[in-house]
Amino acid sequence: MNKLMIVLIMLCTVFLCCCSKKNDATTTTGTTTSGDTSYNTLYIPPVLTGTTFNLNLSKTSKQFFTSGTATNTYGYNGEQFWGPTLILNKGDHVSFNVTNNLADTTTVHWHGFHIPAKMDGGPHQKIAPGETWSPNFTVMNNASMYWYHPHLHEATYKQLTMGAGGLIIIKDAAEAALKLPRTYGTDDIPLVLTSRRFNTDHSFDTTVNDYGDYSLVNGTLYPQVSLPKQYVRLRMLNAEIERAYNLGFADNRTFYVIGNDGGLLDAPVPVTRLVLGVGERVELLVNLGNDAVGTTVALKAYNANQAFGFPGGESAQSGALGSLLNAHDFKVLNIKVAAATASAVTTLPTSLVTNTTLAASEATTNISTAITAGQGGSEFAFDDNNYNYVTINHTITLNAVVKWTFVNSNIFGHSIHIHDVQFKIVSRSSGAIAAYEKGWKDSFYLQRGETVSVVAKFEDFADSVNPYMYHCHFPNHEDAGLMGQFLVTP
């Protein structure tokens, strides 16, 4: 997105507003879905448990539409899109065999994990075609939902778009002690939010676009899920290219945020809307106990009327920077209420876990990073440097508590992710930090014109050779160089 493009978008907007005739995709995925009866059953990825995990990435295909040709995709372990959900226990030592059956090099990154840099699966831990990479580490993170995905520099956009990725659920004793829904696929539902643009032959458009035209949840187009008449837990990941989701329910019901990227909150936070940026996860409790069996309620993205700079708020409906879903409120998931289960959770917990704080005043080191360039045809950069494999942008001493400030006096919103750590957001120049994002985070939405500071302790793993990454989690921005690397040294 550069200035020239913005002018073009504005011109297109004028054109579209004057003469738009909604096409089929807008009608079915856009604002007029209430009469839509042709839902597909939401796919729930299978789980893998234990302490040794084998993952094989290969080409496959998936029938997204009811007629016509299947779409060529990538999946792990024979999944038609995406991969199995790995269930890990905090404290376990786990090992992986990741085999690359593609014709291209890949990597697998364990997003959100606190692990040694050489196990991290960033751009340096390449897996050549036909090779197997076998990292192992101890699970130190709190119970929450994390994810794995390719992270090869300049290949992340394509491999993610083709479907490579998967969820990881970590369990721990503190979470297990709470009365929370936790039957995977029944009252504890993973939701991977994304979208794709299709060519006329149903292949994915893998030219670099910012947005897809069709909303997908767990790879399901027009998804519907039956959920029991009780409190249900929704674990959401924004696995988009750029689009942020302003999520809410069609009847504006209050729902409760119980967890952020890296663990549970102190207590449930009631909301009616929440913004989820790319790479972020959130855990929600929604009460369906007052809904009649057989009724439906839609989870929607209220993305219409966003200020410019909100990714997916642009009004262009086509082109590299537009989408049929942009600037629309669109249905993400249709929920159909079913009978309660035998062991239903029917009350909201008043408190969850006791989180330690990490305040700006505890910082021993300050880092400031500016979003630069991205205009006049240049690619977005951190501090005017586009990523390369050899430049170490920052060196952090082991056990440093770092206040890391991201300054976005630039033209568009981004989503920032730092490897190795879970941090606390300590300031947002746009206003107060929402109560629902006061937990442990590894990714955050950085608005256009905003400065955000986070505080993290870089402990346990020092390595003077292998760096960790920090980057915009829009894979197109990351591939184009909006990424840097840091060493944690003894």
Residue that has been written with the tokens 């670099």 in this structure: 208
Site size with ligand C2O, rule: CB under 6 A: 10
What is the helix (H) or strand (E) element at residue 452, kind and residue range? strand 451-457
Q: 38: how many CB neighbours lie within 10 A of its CB? A: 9
Q: Would you count residue 279 as binding ligand C2O (CB under 6 A)?
A: yes
> Which position among 417, 424, 438, 457 is part of the footprint of ligand C2O (CB under 6 A)?
417
Taking residues 142 to 171 in sequence order and writing x for each that binds ligand C2O by CB under 6 A, - otherwise, the string is -------x-x--------------------
> Which position among 33, 48, 99, 111 is part of the footprint of ligand C2O (CB under 6 A)?
111
Chain-centroid distance of CA 101 in Å reads 25
Rounded to 5°, angle at Cα 70 from 69 and 74: 150
Query: Of ligand C2O, Cu ion, none, which one sits near residue 474, judging by CB under 5 to 8 A according to partner kind?
Result: Cu ion
Nearer to ligand C2O, 111 or 158 (CB): 111
Q: Would you count residue 331 as binding ligand C2O (CB under 6 A)?
A: no
What is the helix (H) or strand (E) element at residue 160, kind and residue range? helix 156-161
Q: Would you count residue 328 as binding Cu ion (CB under 5 A)?
A: no
Query: Of Cu ion, ligand C2O, none, which one sits near residue 417, judging by CB under 5 to 8 A according to partner kind?
Result: ligand C2O
Q: How would you class 18 by CB atoms within 10 Å of its CB: exposed for 0-12, middle for 13-18, buried for 19 or more?
A: exposed
Nearer to ligand C2O, 268 or 467 (CB): 467
Rounded to 5°, angle at Cα 393 from 391 and 480: 70
Query: Of ligand C2O, Cu ion, none, which one sits near residue 472, judging by CB under 5 to 8 A according to partner kind?
Result: Cu ion
Which residue's beta carbon is nearest to the bound ligand C2O? 111
Q: How far is the CB of 131 from Cu ion (least distance, A)?
A: 30
- Contact set for ligand C2O, span 448-487 (CB under 6 A): 469, 471, 473
Nearer to Cu ion, 235 or 414 (CB): 414
Query: Of ligand C2O, Cu ion, none, which one sits near residue 414, judging by CB under 5 to 8 A according to partner kind?
Result: Cu ion
Tokens of 179: 């009365």
Nearer to ligand C2O, 149 or 300 (CB): 149
Q: How far is the CB of 214 from Cu ion (least distance, A)?
A: 22
Alpha helices per DSSP H over 397-488: 475-479
Distance of CA 56 to CAs 133, 470, 478, Å?
10, 26, 24
Query: Of ligand C2O, Cu ion, none, which one sits near residue 419, judging by CB under 5 to 8 A according to partner kind?
Result: ligand C2O
Taking residues 360 to 389 in sequence order and writing x for each that binds ligand C2O by CB under 6 A, - otherwise, the string is ------------------------------
Query: Of ligand C2O, Cu ion, none, which one sits near residue 124, judging by CB under 5 to 8 A according to partner kind?
Result: none
- Contact set for ligand C2O, span 76-95 (CB under 6 A): none
Tell me which residue of 114, 212, 210, 121 sits closest to 165, measured CA to CA: 121
Tokens of 133: 């990479």
- Contact set for Cu ion, span 448-487 (CB under 5 A): 472, 474, 477
Strands 329-338 and 223-228 come out as parallel
* DSSP string for 7-34: HHHHHHHHHHHHH----HHHHHHSS--T
Q: Would you count residue 419 as binding ligand C2O (CB under 6 A)?
A: yes
Nearer to Cu ion, 469 or 472 (CB): 472
Tell me which residue of 158, 157, 160 sits closest to 147, measured CA to CA: 160
**Cβ–Cβ < 8 Å for 213, 196:** yes
Q: How far is the CB of 158 from Cu ion (least distance, A)?
A: 17
Nearer to Cu ion, 235 or 477 (CB): 477
For 390, the 3-state DSSP assignment is: coil
Task: Return the half-sphere exposure (C-beta side, CA atoms, 13 A cut-off) of residue 455.
Answer: 16
Q: Would you count residue 424 as binding ligand C2O (CB under 6 A)?
A: no
Strand order in the sheet with 47-48: 47-48, 85-89, 166-171, 144-149, 109-111
Q: Would you count residue 229 as binding ligand C2O (CB under 6 A)?
A: no
Query: Of Cu ion, ligand C2O, none, which one sits near residue 149, judging by CB under 5 to 8 A according to partner kind?
Result: ligand C2O
Q: Would you count residue 281 as binding ligand C2O (CB under 6 A)?
A: no
- Contact set for Cu ion, span 403-442 (CB under 5 A): 414
Q: How far is the CB of 482 from Cu ion (least distance, A)?
A: 5
Contacts of 397 (CB under 8 A, 6+ apart): 365, 458, 488, 489, 490
CA distance 211 to 214: 9
- Which residues contact Cu ion by CB under 5 A? 414, 472, 474, 477
Residues that bind ligand C2O in the complex, under the rule CB under 6 A: 109, 111, 149, 151, 279, 417, 419, 469, 471, 473
